[in-house]
Structure 1
């Protein structure tokens, strides 16, 4: 919730600042008087400043909640406690009560701690020392050095002077103490608001891991080889899907018979997620490279067929009538009217299909893959190498974004009539 609030605040502040800046810097000419934006693709363009701030805000939030050294400390949310703390417990045995202190050293997860030295004390309840890593808890067996054990009916009746019974929780300095069902105190140090590196490492940790993998590789292959194999599988699967899906879509969009024949199949397969097809693909094609290509082919086939069908059937009928009136044949109408006017829909479908293929390649590389970004992510996740997982996700996202930008530029070059009547 706090993350959402901060993010919405950044969006609001950025929108307000950009709006004020644009109004002051605006030139008052004929273009500035344009008020019709709905349906006019040229009227709405991405605000580059907003885009840059959007990306930066994600990294800032990432650093805020991971205690990144790239940000000043005052920007960090409260960190988990680290250091030495203590609490006092009161034990009752044989009609007597005594107090003892438990000293707890809270250390970083990868640190090898050295336990502090404390005196045992004079009563039958002896002082104790424990160590615990941040974001972890420790069960303090206080009777291990006491004169009276649990077998002597010794029970803890208070923590820091507050009466307790099994199941109770008491707030102490830098943490909480919960009494277990067996009457043993369980110390939970203050966790703060920062994310544990196991779940979300800081940006600099991911960067260091990235440099290490770039220099040393991952499981015998360089990172570029992993990405190259993934890109190859995605491109081949997409091209095969487009090669079959586009003609299929044209046939469905131009023929009642083919529409009736293939429409139930396409509409049945379209909502089936590619991940559900993995067992069937393994049975059909085995666990080799062919199976991965087939899975990506099926991920793009139905999207491309629907896009081509929508493009072919959505051509303005007045253009077709005009071509017929000029004596055009069916092939000429197909070549000069249907195909050009359906390209915008096909390019949109291609962008969606490539995105789905990139999302599916991780699952495709789960099956006996030795190379690929998906294999790298899944292998790292088994060993809880979250920094490698995030690095792989970022690389897949960056490459996917690059492909999408490339396809948009190609579309802008090849289909300059998009959005125009």
Structure 2
């Protein structure tokens, strides 16, 4: 009886995905139509809202000639490199620390006040200190991105570790799992779906901090491109860069959502 029941469910899900994709495309198309009408009839000053044609022209110029001595792929690669380095260190530090804090109230009491203190602070509030301590190179930028992504990843790890059923832990201990084996083969796999969801949130927060990370003494990166173009009132370049940033963010988020579905297919994404 399982096969006849599973087939309608798959058909229903596929129809739902098609409907979702169709509505999303119509929404984006409507937005671009309103943008074109507003710019075509001059409802908004072109300085604030350039036409889609001007933005496309700026994009093609950047893609063909680069921007300020570097190619578009070079700027994108510089930003992604900073984010990837930061998120690597976020995952390898926040996950084990968060899991340990989730399983030990005493350890959580040590780290929780520190993280809860800096977590709501705007990144620019302490970026000047990072520049003072680590200089104006990429190190301070990566650390800023690391700090912005560490808190949400840590909170997700603590939450996921605390909600593991006690019966699962006791059952694993009764079978001889203790210490590292318990954490590696029972606790971490149990936390993995929540960790990937927290990782998705942390990447979004880190990506949003990109402009702040690249605004001091940077000469590359898509965040720096938007900031530099604003100095010359090149709103067409700003819009083009923002769209590029949005497309990259969608691709990164889609990849993480695909990974979550592979690891935990029962979670709706």
1:339 aligns with 2:216: no
For residues 286 and 198 of structure 1, do their structure 2 counterparts lie closer, same or farther at Cα, with a shift above 3 Å needed? same
* Structural mapping, 1:18-417, within 5 Å: 47-67=20-40, 79-80=41-42, 194-416=43-265
State how far apart, in whole Å, the 2-side matches of 1:405 and 1:287 are: 33
Instruction: Give the C-alpha shift of residue 403 in structure 1.
Output: 0.6
Pick the structure with more strand per residue: 1
State how far apart, in whole Å, the 2-side matches of 1:32 and 1:224 are: 44
Match of 1:130 in 2: none
Pick the structure with more helix per residue: 2
State how far apart, in whole Å, the 1-side matches of 2:31 and 2:181 are: 51
What do the CA deviations read for 1:74-102 (whole angstroms, capped 9, x no partner)? xxxxx35xxxxxxxxxxxxxxxxxxxxxx
State how far apart, in whole Å, the 1-side matches of 2:6 and 2:96 are: 42
State how far apart, in whole Å, the 2-side matches of 1:268 and 1:42 are: 45
For residues 218 and 250 of structure 1, do their structure 2 counterparts lie closer, same or farther at Cα, with a shift above 3 Å needed? same
Instruction: Give the C-alpha shift of residue 319 in structure 1.
Output: 2.0
Contact 2:197-2:260 within 8 A present in 1 as well: no
What do the CA deviations read for 1:273-332 (whole angstroms, capped 9, x no partner)? 222221111111111111111111111111111111111111122322332344433433
Moved over 6 A (4+): 29-34, 41-44
For residues 31 and 250 of structure 1, do their structure 2 counterparts lie closer, same or farther at Cα, with a shift above 3 Å needed? closer
- Number of equivalenced pairs: 261
TM-score (norm: length of structure 2)? 0.89
Residue 39 of structure 2 aligns to a residue in which SS? coil
State how far apart, in whole Å, the 1-side matches of 2:90 and 2:229 are: 30
State how far apart, in whole Å, the 1-side matches of 2:189 and 2:266 are: 9
Instruction: Give the C-alpha shift of residue 412 in structure 1.
Output: 2.0
- Give 5+ residue unaligned stretches, structure 2: none
State how far apart, in whole Å, the 2-side matches of 1:212 and 1:274 are: 32
What do the CA deviations read for 1:145-202 (whole angstroms, capped 9, x no partner)? xxxxxxxxxxxxxxxxxxxxxxxxxxxxxxxxxxxxxxxxxxxxxxxxx111100111
Match of 1:180 in 2: none
